[in-house]
Amino acid sequence: MTDQSFSRDKRLLTPRHFKTVFDGTTGKVPGKQVLLLARENQLDHPRIGFVIAKKSVRLAVQRNRLKRVIRDSFRRHQEQLVGWDIIVLARKGMADQDNDELHAHFVKLWKRLSKLRKNTPALAEPSDDRPHA
């Protein structure tokens, strides 16, 4: 069985981690009241961070619920997200969705993000076609 934990090493923790993703985004996946920004991380596991502003989601209870549901979805689908640093940007109206809608929506977003990695030649391993001396 695959590791479905959500340990500290699977989170973007520092401002530097977030800045790296914001400045070097190689994948964007827009969704209903959400935007995923992603960047290749050269690790054997994905990492996730959240930007859920009070302006977008007023109540702390709702912000915490969103983070909890998204973390659970991420934890269940992390094997298809290996190699990505992901930032979830919440937009107005996201808190209006119930938990089942959020789960279903994020399943689709994770699939789109994993396909993006497979279809983007810039993210593929660099080939060394130079002759060896």
Residue 45, amino acid:
H
Closest to 38 (Cα-Cα) out of 112, 29, 127, 63? 29
Question: By CB neighbour count within 10 A (0-12 exposed, 13-18 middle, 19+ buried), where does 102 fall?
Answer: buried
**pLDDT single digits (tens) 16-48:** 999 999 999 999 999 989 999 999 998 999 999
Domains in the chain and their CATH numbers? 8-117 (3.30.230.10)
* Positive/negative CA dihedral, 33, 96, 19, 13: negative
* C-alpha to C-alpha distance for 66 and 83, rounded to whole angstroms: 24
Q: pLDDT grade, residue 129 (50/70/90)? A: very low
Mean of all residue pLDDT scores within the chain:
87
pLDDT of residue 2: 57
Q: How far is CA 60 from the centre of its chain?
A: 21
